[in-house]
Structure 1
Amino acid sequence: MKTIIEKYGHKRVTVVEGGITRHRSIFNGLKVFAENEFSSHLLQKPEVVIIHDAVRPFVEEDIVSKVVMAAKEHGAAGAIRPLVSTVIASAADGCLDHSLERARYRASEMPQAFLFDIIYEAYQQCTDYDLDYGTECLHLALKYCKTNAKLVEGTADLWKVTYKRDLYAAESIIKDNLSQQVCVITNVKETLAQVGFLLPESLKSQIKVEAISISLSKNDSCLQNIFSGQCYNFVCVNDKRWAIQETQELVDMLEKLNIPLLCPVVLILVHLDIPENNSFSIGMEDLTTIKKFARETKKKNILVYGLLIQCKDPLLLQETVNSAAALIMALIKDRNPELIGQLLVA
């Protein structure tokens, strides 16, 4: 845990050793704010404490805020969701005993929030049985402090990563979240600017597009604004031979701002083989260069792909650009590290 905190530069984080059960772990966390045995890193006691599960990684800030505000007013609050399955009880012989009316019940989710004094007092009064076998914090506040928790309707993204198959669903959600925006950077001659216009327009039907049509080195402030919005996808259109030097500038900017630190960045280098581009040429040396560049940037969590827009017939340019946009979207959504350094042709 300490390695993760150091790697990602998290601040104001204190690691506390957990217990053998959920409630014992939570109690250990609460003690850090109140008990002298933890005086080596005693923290300032908060008005409200939030309890959350790491296995619910997609919680939105809005639901956290709602739960905290409800806890301030009522003393305790927790997110809930409708039951998706009917709950039944079985008899000793393994047969159905009774079932619950699903409409009357809700699934208790996280996050939950409490006035610190209430939840701490509840844990102080807990029995060993509570600490070893209990699962519901809201129930402890009710049982020991007579605090009726306010129930806040949660969102669908509060589901738990419980089984192995859930990891694939989580990966899909993360990739989808990273595929909401792309920055298209063009630095081409006026005669080739049509591609620089058509490509962003073709992409706009599938993804939010920020288009920049001047040199990276001259557009620092614009890129800074895009980076602050946590954009993880970049398309560089250039009529030079792969423009590795300018692309390296972008990589350096990404590194400086720690953009690739949390999630892999997709960087697609687009080369133009169209009638107006008389400077077009490609050989084994070029392919070797981009593969080497891609291997180096992969170490920095930046995935580099090559894309060749090849169109000798001007009448087919729009169709070719549409194909290029489809390939770009596939690379962004899949984020496959095995394809880095490859040259795809539209």
Structure 2
Amino acid sequence: MEVERGSVDGPARPAGCPAGEAASGDPLPGRRSVDFPVAAVLPAGGCGERAGIATPKQFCAFLNRPLLSYTIEAFERVAWIEHIVVVVAKENLHQMMDIIQQFSHKKVTVVLGGSTRHRSIFKGLEAFREQSDGVTLRKPEVVIIHDAVRPFVDEDFLLKITVAAKDQGASGAVRPLVSTVIATTSEGYLDHSLERARYRASEMPQGFLYDIIYRAYQQCCETDFEFGTECLHLASHYCGTKAKLIEGPPTLWKVTYKQDLFAAEGIIKDMLSHNGCVVAGGCAPSVQLACELQKTLEARSMQVDVISGPPGSRAVLVSGTWNFIHIAVDSSCLDDMAKLVKTFQDSKHAVLYPVVLILVHLNLQPQCSVTERMRALGAIRSLATEAKHGNILLYGILLSRDKALEQWDESMENVAQIIAALVKDRNPGLVGQLLVA
């Protein structure tokens, strides 16, 4: 098997396209276009035994969303993938249908799996034959098989796998071995070790000409169905297909253990924290503070856009950003925030990823006591509670202007630090709190 080194550095970040919209799919210069039908099969029938948790790991949630939904989205946003067949166990069927509805997945067909991995994949492939209800999905020329618990796969690498499968009949992702593989004796002693440089770890995704992998499964024996796990082996053994192996990025790892769920959540949070949008009112102090925040936050490697005008404008959504800082200087700020919250709710911008919305109240009246200021903004908690139901995390920061230049610069650093922490952590425990910078 030939190994080709990939050039993909990491997963496409969630903000790559606005929620609910697919990427254009237009080929980049030098890339081959996909002008043939492509589909994906995601086996998701595992019980999560190795994770040591009661809920199968593909249905475990972080940021209020099941792991499986993140993987589905990675395929749905690829315009040239027509259908996604998700294979689940019978006991998880209703839960899967709820996920499709809640997160507005459009390309998904759900089928019931078998008792083993290979049986489930075969069931997924059979979905492109006539089904019991008379509905038939268009048979793809290339089918991609991918684990439901590998959410960080991007379009560039899927394209490499798809094109190689079209040309060679089969293709698969590989990664270098991290540890040396050894063989042991029956008594538990070292027998021998393998030369690590000669071997690779087989990963997903894998791509196949549909007719080849379907024919391979038709010829499988019971031993294959019961104990086999490697799809590329079936294509080679039963169809004589030589698979093209492509070295994939480190982000192709599989969520296997409980701690992997925390790692996946950390990656998603990190990807969501790179961009922000400052919404400034029309007054000069608000615009000035917005520009200062932009400069301070960008010094922390956060790309920030500044938008002036009505806070309810849908223009703030078109960038695909999930972090917004609204600057207010008077008591009408909560009305403005309520309009912004409604904008997110109406557009369903927070369906896939939680939106962070931070109110920075710039106090221009130094004679007001802290108690009076906090009382005036006390309603932020009720608004935050309502927003939280829509996956919108609303926080407040109080900033006073009555400071010397040196103190003001320090306050700006404090505000930027608080904003960066709120955006990165997305801590639901701080929702509705008013922080003083």
Q: TM-score, normalised by structure 1?
A: 0.93
Q: How far 1:191 moved relative to its partner?
A: 4.2
Partner residue in 2 for 1:252: 342
- Aligned pairs, number: 340
* Mapping 1:158-173, distance limit 5 Å: 158-173=252-267
Tell me the equivalent position of 2:410: 319
Q: RCO greater where, 1 or 2, for CA within 8 Å and sep 6 or more?
A: 2
CA-CA distance at 1:320 after TM superposition: 1.0
CA distance in 2, matches of 1:277, 1:46: 70
* Alignment match, 2:176: 82
Match of 2:325 in 1: 235
CA shift at 1:281, angstroms? Answer: 8.6
| Contact 2:366–2:402, Cα closer than 8 Å, also in 1 | no
Q: Per-residue displacement from partner, 1:193-233 (whole Å, max 9, x unpaired)?
A: 4322211110112201011122235x54x32422xxx2110
- When residues 338 and 13 of structure 1 are mapped into structure 2, their CA distance, relative to the original with a 3 A threshold, is same
Which consecutive segments of 4 or more residues in structure 1 shift more than 3 A? 36-39, 274-278, 280-285
| Contact 2:286 2:328 (8 Å CA) reproduced | no
Which whole-Å CA distance do the structure 1 matches of 2:418 and 2:360 have between them? 11
What CA distance in whole angstroms lies between the structure 2 residues aligned with 1:191 and 1:117?
A: 66
Q: Deviation of residue 180 (structure 1)?
A: 1.2
Give CA-to-partner distance per residue, 1:237-267, whole Å, 9 cap, x none: 0111261221122212212222110111100
In 1: Cα distance, 2:374 partner to 2:199 partner: 66
Corresponding letter in the other structure for 2:338: Q
The letter for the 1-side match of 2:270 is D
2: CA distance between counterparts of 1:61 and 1:7?
24
Of residues 199, 202, 211 in structure 1, which corresponds to 2:296?
A: 202
For the residue of structure 1 that corresponds to 2:110, the secondary structure is coil
- Give the Å deviation of 1:286: 2.8
Amino acid at match of 2:200: R
* Structure 1 contact 188–239 (Cα < 8 Å) conserved: no
CA contact (8 A) 2:317 2:349 kept: no
Matches within 5 A, 1:1-346: 1-34=96-129, 36=130, 38=132, 40-206=134-300, 207-217=302-312, 219-220=313-314, 222-226=315-319, 230-241=320-331, 243-274=333-364, 282-283=372-373, 285-315=375-405, 316-346=407-437
Asked which structure has the greater CA Rg, the reply is: 1
Contact 1:122 1:140 in 2 (8 A): yes
Q: Which structure: greater helix fraction?
A: 1
Q: Are residues 237 and 91 of structure 1, via their aligned partners in 2, closer, same or farther at CA, if it must alter by over 3 Å?
A: same
Q: CA RMSD in A?
A: 2.0
Instruction: Name the SS for the 1:143 alignment partner.
Output: helix
Q: Could you tell me whether the CA contact under 8 Å between 2:329 and 2:364 is conserved in 1?
A: no
User: Gaps (5+ residues) in structure 2?
Assistant: 1-95
Contact 2:114/2:123 (8 A) holds in 1:
yes
Deviates more, 1:63-72 or 1:86-95: 86-95
Give the distance between the partners of 1:295 and 1:133, measured in 2 at CA. 50
In structure 2, what residue type is equivalent to 1:225?
V
Alpha-carbon distance in 2 for matches of 1:18, 1:151: 27
Q: Is the 8 A contact 1:195 1:321 kept in 2?
A: no
C-alpha displacement at 1:270, in angstroms? 0.5
Give the aligned residue type for 1:288: G
Deviation at 1:75, TM superposition (A): 0.3
TM-score of the superposition, structure 2-length normalised? 0.74
Contact kept in structure 1, 2:366 and 2:401, CA below 8 Å: no
